[in-house]
Amino acid sequence: MKTVEVTKATLPLAEYTKDVIKEPVIVTIKGKPVAALVNIPNADIETVALSQNQKFLNLIERSRCRQGKEGGISTEEMRQRLKQKRAEPSKRKR
């Protein structure tokens, strides 16, 4: 793992990102890690952003807890429900 002290990081960011394919690059301030440049293969911007969003992570955790306590439905059951809903005529007034 490569470590770069922020006061000595004089290269352009693009130069440091070249190394992340092989290993993470840890940025430090006075020896303490403050940031990491890491390879994120097969990830899109939305996935990366959501993985750092505390509100989203809390929502996922609550959902997992609820599913564990109350159970859930299978994928097949959800497909059947969605098919039924699509087959129902619209109740909107014209």
Q: Which CATH number fits domain 2-37: 3.40.50.300, 3.40.1620.10, 3.40.630.30, 3.30.70.260?
A: 3.40.1620.10
Please report, rounded to a whole number, the percentage of residues in the chain having pLDDT higher than 90.
63
The whole model's pTM is what?
0.56
Structure confidence by residue, pLDDT tens digits, 25-71: 999 999 999 999 999 988 899 999 999 999 999 999 999 999 889 98
The predicted pLDDT at position 90 comes to 64
Q: How many Cα atoms within 13 Å fall on the side-chain side of residue 73?
A: 8
What was the pLDDT predicted at 91? 62
pLDDT at 94: 54
